[in-house]
Amino acid sequence: MNIKSILKYEEYWCKKMGYRNPYIDPYKHHLTSSTVTGDHTAYRKYPENRRVYDKLWIAQTQGLKSGKLEELNTNNIRYPIFIKPRWGHLSAASKNCFKITNKNQLLKYIDYPDMMWSEFIDGREGMTDFLLLHGRIVWQITYIYSEEQNGFSDVYKYVSLQTPTPPNIEQWVRDNINGHTGFVNVQYRKNHIIEVGLRPARGGMYLIGADCPSLSYNIYNVLDKGFWDDTLDKTIQFEPYYVYKCYTRFPMLYIWPQHVIDFILPKFTDMPLYEYYFEPVNNEGVVFFQFMHTDHVKGMKLKNRIEMCYMLTQITVLIAFILVMYSFKFKSIIKYVLFILFIVILFTRFLNPLYVNYNCYKAYMQMFLGRNSLLSQAEFDSETKSSS
């Protein structure tokens, strides 16, 4: 059975259980339905610019030392190097991305398909969302990543209209994105571009979180009407905020039910957009939740509390399992009661939108299966045909 097939019941399940859509329900102003928010859709919709999903091409346009991993001479390379999936529309976040410091490390991944290598760029990461109209940049916003990271995943991002865009990044977009109308997301490290997508960051999450009606309206103007209203420029304003990622090295044995999250989180954050978000990090741990806050001190305190509570939750579940198993040494019927009670409580982790447990499963498969979790272009084309 294809586990992904359960997602077709997502809308029915969420409606039945009363789960909110964090991208829509808390807000009066939404992104137009014409907004392309995913890389799969963008790759199919914009063939004239889909070359940006080739991360090897991205590196070569900047003169970076790079190439196909399968063609790399392991005896003639200067370390460190960085390896990652070559195709941006077939990968996400920091999955299967590794800093390689010696030959023994490299040999572990040398047979991974559709991978590339490049010289290692040490420096702070950044990201910019550009909105283009017929190839002309009409609006942009730059996100600052935290200096502290878990592996290659940021601890938080700072979102502000006052953050300047590196001039060379903006110029690269002007030179390499042809006639495009829509979003272009550019991720870079030390002003070297590492990845580009034809959609806004996190499916538009950061734009939605800004809750700026003038911005939403002008995005609609560009994507649906074909113009940018300059008279709205001065009204495109919002209070800067932070986006936090919660991270754990513990296996996710239990996930708090959605209604528990909805009861607790609004008491500690002043922004309504939060969600389960699973991202494997260097095969060492997993990002499992993200939320927003306008106050950095309070936001970091909440992030640390969530991480601590989740760690204690996993430890509690593990101890409970050991105690239940130990109880089977005795003849008392209480062992069956304890076992049933444990299973019932454990299964409340499924009182969430279907994508939550599916994405959790997918993240851990990424960690455990490695190369086998990579989607090939042939598989992508097959999925495209079957869905059309």
How confident is the prediction along the chain (388 residues), in pLDDT tens digits per residue?
567 788 899 999 999 999 999 988 888 888 999 999 999 999 999 999 999 999 999 999 999 999 999 888 888 889 999 999 999 888 766 677 888 999 999 998 888 888 999 999 988 899 999 999 999 999 999 999 999 988 778 999 999 999 999 999 999 999 999 999 999 999 999 889 999 999 999 999 999 999 999 999 999 999 999 999 999 999 999 999 999 999 999 999 999 999 999 999 999 999 999 999 998 887 789 999 999 999 999 999 999 999 999 999 999 999 999 999 999 988 888 999 999 999 999 999 999 999 999 999 988 887 777 655 566 676 666 666 655 5
| Bridge-based pairing state of the strands 136-145 and 98-100 | unpaired
Question: Which two structure tokens, joined as six digits, stand for 196?
Answer: 């580009």
Note if the bond before 266 is cis, omega within 30 degrees.
no
Tell me how far apart the alpha carbons of residues 94 and 287 are, in angstroms, rounded to a whole number: 10
Global pTM?
0.90
Handedness of CA 362, 367, 368, 373 (dihedral sign): positive
Domains of the chain: 3-312+348-387 (3.30.470.20)
CA 259 – CA 267 distance, rounded (Å): 14
- The whole-angstrom distance between residue 227's C-alpha and the CA centroid of its chain comes to 30
Cα–Cα distance list, 78 to 62, 100, 123, 128, 376 (Å): 19, 10, 18, 31, 29
